[in-house]
Chains A and B, each alone.
Chain A
């Protein structure tokens, strides 16, 4: 057996990647890490969905009728935008697997733009709510839309908090996609770009799925 003087020699000789025995193991571990992280995100949003469920059962109709304040049109538009963005991300993943870096970068950029469009619409919706006095915050002149201000207040509270946190997650996702696209363009990614793209893709799809639950619970509840 050859005498390898340093550990680094041994590492280099074995084809190991850092602490992993090989690339496949590293890939396996990265995926596991992202899935485990998404599990934690499910608990994160899960607590909020629990609060929603509790108050919905508590208040019944007064709670769900408040959803009429929100615009189904814009909510549906946003849902469509996010679904399309998941499609474009899937294309980006495919392109990365085929090592077509330029194409991948374009798909990533498109997805990020769609995400920004979503956020833009969201902010516009919130501004409308602010104008109409639907912000349930202490000093902001809350104008209850119906007869049961406390139920409406809680509904709107949850709406802003949950869509706000979702928006924050989306914003982080946009940042991830943009940074990946930029690095790909500058050829800074290794010759195995599909790993970070797939991992970011997983995150993006998760954020999309959260919205798929938020949309009916808030926009369609009272209809």
Chain B
């Protein structure tokens, strides 16, 4: 029996500021993160808006070149490190992991709170950098430009990212230990929801890849301040060493951004098709494979950088291999729909949108992994379109789908379903309008990071900006209707979607200690009743 006791749910157990800012409750920490990353998202989106306005015309007539370079840099830095990488793990992961495992909290709750504060401090440094004029190196910080030529707040920004990196590492460690040690009795590995599998794989990358970035940022700062010359060719250093170390982190980082979304899709497809996932084991192993393989392909960012042909051949071959686990997942999701009982609620629409956009993004990744083709499209808008298809069309749609799916559990309220569906659709449409023309501009030869451009590219850039206005609405609307529903929406029951999973076996919103006893699990994941013939 699930007792409804609104005065004891986590949202209302304590109203003071200190009960929020000093909380060790994973659910409250998740909300603290939600608030922070949403702020960062809209800051970076504002930069994107400015970029798109500038790109309406070939001439640089909206902002100066200096400003433009700072805009795209801050857009990348904030979106990647202060929105995408934290997004699902720190909001949905923090909130749901203990619930999905039947636990009372994560393994290290105080470390969890510490990681939020560390994240904030990192964010403050980055904001300080913004106020100090911003940074203009691109989020990739290539030396010698970033170490010896850029006259902008490189060290401040690097410090902010360095600090935020520790937040990532701590979250990763916390999740790994939690998943190993706090599963409820009967919850074996192969009964875990796939969202947990993807969180686990993501955490491996968070913990193991981020330290390399941290060291690299340290070296850049030291070189910039002390003129030490590790990457400066004039002092015997090697600028390509930076690129190798940078991409050794940054390629796995993109899997940090996509894996959790894939987990969300597995949860929502099964719920709204009322069917167990097709190929559970292969999907679970595919998540681990993506995490592991992701560490082996970094050189595909450097095919034209001056590395040897042999390196390029090896990295290209490995990059094709890493596409296979992703393909397995897409096929498994599709097969799950077969003989299901499908309803197109908002989270399902987001999941379907994810599959479509991620597939296109992933396929264009194959274009880029192919050596002869990459030589032409590398560093052009083709790449920009590719990664936005994965990051925005994939990761962000997965995030939005997850927010909508678990919104009743988190807030105890329901949002307006028609608004939800409408928003999902315009997001999908707006996204394609924004980014598909960029593939074409890229193949035609328009390089990246161009403040002014040859008029032959204008048609595509113009289309892209128009699409961006529609896409923007897709993010503004949820801010309004989700925010409104938090305070005034109709109350949700414990399991409004009739979904499987331990998180739905407790009231919405959950009580502070999650469960009123220790749950015992004795069935497979996604135990939806099968429909008889």
Is A141's beta carbon under 8 Å from chain B? no
Q: Is the CB of B215 within 8 A of A20?
A: no
Number of interface residues of A (CB under 8 A): 44
Query: With A19-B109, A150-B236 in contact, is A40–B208 under 8 Å at CB?
Result: yes
- Please, which residues of chain A bring their CB within 8 A of the CB of B226? 137-138
Contact A29–B517 (Cβ < 8 Å): no
Interface contact B103-A154, CB-CB below 8 Å: no
Is B325 in contact with chain A by the CB < 8 A criterion?
no
Which secondary structure dominates where chain B touches chain A? helix
Chain A residues whose C-beta falls within 8 Å of the C-beta of B109 in the assembled complex = 18-19
Asked if B258 lies at the interface with its beta carbon under 8 angstroms from chain A, I say: no
Does B227 touch A at the CB level, under 8 Å?
yes
Interface segment, B39-47, B177-185, B345-353, B431-439?
A: B177-185
Q: Does B230 contact A (CB under 8 A)?
A: yes
CB-contact partner of B181 in A25, A47, A151, A153, under 8 A: A25
Which residues from A are CB-within-8-Å of B241? Answer: 51, 54
Instruction: Give the shortest distance, in Å, between A81 (CB) and chain B (any CB).
Output: 26
A136 to B236 Cα, complex, angstroms: 12
Choose from A20, A25, A149, A157 the contact partner of B230 (Cβ within 8 Å). Answer: A157
A46 in contact (CB, < 8 A): yes
Tell me if B173 and A40 are in contact (CB < 8 A). Answer: yes
Given contacts A32-B177, A36-B207, A150-B236, is CB(A19)–CB(B230) below 8 Å? no
- Interface status of B211 (Cβ within 8 A of chain A): yes
Cβ A43 vs Cβ B181 within 8 A = no
Q: Are B212 and A28 in contact (CB under 8 A)?
A: no
**Tally of contact residues, B, Cβ under 8 A:** 48
The yes or no answer to A10 lying at the interface (CB within 8 A) is yes
Does residue A12 face the partner (Cβ distance < 8 Å to B)? no
Determine whether A190 belongs to the interface, using a CB cutoff of 8 Å to chain B: no
Report yes or no: A19 in contact with B98, Cβ–Cβ below 8 A: yes
Known: A33-B177, A36-B176. A157 touches B214 (CB 8 A): no
C-alpha spacing A134/B107, complex, angstroms: 47
Q: Are A44 and B212 in contact (CB under 8 A)?
A: yes
**With A and B bound together, what is the CA distance between A18 and B109 in angstroms?**
10
Task: Specify which chain B residues have a CB less than 8 angstroms from the CB of A18 in the assembled complex.
Answer: 104-105, 109
Contact call A43/B227, Cβ cutoff below 8 A: no
Q: Which of B173, B182, B222, B517 has the most CB of A within 10 A?
A: B173
Cβ A39 vs Cβ B103 within 8 A: no
A32-B208 CB under 8 A given contacts A7-B516, A47-B245, A136-B228: no
Q: Are B211 and A40 in contact (CB under 8 A)?
A: yes
Binding site for B on A (CB under 8 A): 7-8, 10-11, 14, 18-21, 25, 28-29, 32-33, 36-37, 39-41, 43-48, 50-51, 54-55, 58-59, 136-139, 149-151, 153-154, 157-158, 161, 165
Which residues in B have some Cβ–Cβ distance to A below 8 Å?
A: 98, 103-109, 169, 173-174, 176-178, 180-182, 207-212, 214-216, 218-219, 222, 226-230, 235-238, 241, 245, 248, 511-513, 515-518
Could you pull out 22 A-B pairs where Cβ atoms are within 8 angstroms? A14-B518, A18-B105, A18-B109, A19-B106, A19-B109, A20-B182, A25-B181, A29-B107, A29-B108, A33-B107, A33-B173, A37-B169, A40-B173, A41-B211, A47-B211, A47-B212, A47-B215, A51-B219, A51-B230, A54-B238, A59-B236, A158-B230
- New A-B pairs, 4, CB < 8 Å, besides A37-B169, A137-B228: A39-B207, A43-B211, A58-B238, A161-B228
